[in-house]
């Protein structure tokens, strides 16, 4: 991994206090975390893994997910565990900090995967979950994160650049019109 991708603990936000507090910024992270948990656990029958990644109780961070449910009687969405939400939030913050440096490189996903695996703490999965499936779960979480985040980042960046180009064109046209 190039030196420019080395990110220290101070760079990325610590999600630990924000998740239990149910802060607004955490709601979208929790929603995406639930989606990741569902994808990772698809076809998994290990109860320890399910308990590690999901929550049976309604956490404050999962209130948004609860209100997104289509039915009051049937749960169709996945409610992530507090630790998964913290981990996803930390990984997203890390990706945000390195994407401007990595976006133009070949193998962007590989660079970001390496950065996440070397920086974000996944040890809680081994401790609270299943040590047998630990590596598979970590790999799946990281793959889901990169497959969701990289296209989303590119879409946002393209919108910003398009808007900036549109603004410059408008200014140029206004200059032309004001001189006539």
Describe the crossing of helices 24-41 and 134-178 by its angle, rounded to 10 degrees: 130
Q: What is the pLDDT of residue 132?
A: 83
Q: What is the pLDDT of residue 115?
A: 94
Instruction: Return the closest-CA partner of residue 144 out of 18, 38, 64.
Output: 38
Q: What is the pLDDT of residue 63?
A: 66
Q: Mind listing the pLDDT tens digit for each residue in 27-59?
A: 788 888 888 999 999 988 888 888 888 877 766
Task: Give 125-130 contacts, CB < 8 A, sequence gap 24+.
Answer: 125/52, 125/53, 128/51, 128/52, 128/83, 129/48, 129/49, 129/51, 129/52, 129/53, 130/46, 130/48, 130/49, 130/52
Q: What percent of the chain clears pLDDT 70, i.e. is strictly above it?
A: 75
Average pLDDT over every residue of 120-128: 88
Q: Mind listing the pLDDT tens digit for each residue in 14-23?
A: 554 544 444 6
Q: What is the pLDDT of residue 112?
A: 94
Q: What is the pLDDT of residue 24?
A: 66
Average pLDDT, the chain: 80
Q: Which residue has the higher pLDDT, 102 or 12?
A: 102
Q: Which residue has the higher pLDDT, 134 or 13?
A: 134
How is the chain split among helix, strand and coil, in percent rounded to 5?
70, 0, 30
Grouping H, G, I as helix, E, B as strand and the rest as coil, residue 54 is strand
Q: What is the pLDDT of residue 25?
A: 74
pLDDT surpassing 80 at residue 74: no
Q: For the chain, what is the domain count? A: 1
- 84 is in which domain, residue-wise? 3-178
pLDDT surpassing 60 at residue 159: yes
Q: What is the pLDDT of residue 70?
A: 59
**90-122 burial: b if 16+ Cβ within 10 Å, else e:** bbbbbbeebbeebeeeeebeebbbebbeebbeb
Contact 157, 103 (CB under 8 A): yes
Q: Which residue has the higher pLDDT, 111 or 60?
A: 111
């Amino acid at each position: 991994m190039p030196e420019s991708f080395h990110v220290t603990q101070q760079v990325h936000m610590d999600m630990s206090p924000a998740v239990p507090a149910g802060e607004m910024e955490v709601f979208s992270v929790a929603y995406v975390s639930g989606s990741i948990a569902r994808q990772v656990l698809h076809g998994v029958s290990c109860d320890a893994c399910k308990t590690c990644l999901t929550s049976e109780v309604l956490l404050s961070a999962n209130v948004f997910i609860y209100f997104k449910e289509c039915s009051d009687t049937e749960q169709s969405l996945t409610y992530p565990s507090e630790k998964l939400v913290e981990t996803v939030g930390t990984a997203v913050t890390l990706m945000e900090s390195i994407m401007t440096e990595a976006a133009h490189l070949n193998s962007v996903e590989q660079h970001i995967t390496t950065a996440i695996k070397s920086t974000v703490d996944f040890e809680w999965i081994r401790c609270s979950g299943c040590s047998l499936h630990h590596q598979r779960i970590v790999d799946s979480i990281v793959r889901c994160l990169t497959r969701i985040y990289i296209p989303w980042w590119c879409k946002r960046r393209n919108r910003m650049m398009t808007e900036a180009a549109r603004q410059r064109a408008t200014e140029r046209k206004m200059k032309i019109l004001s001189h006539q």
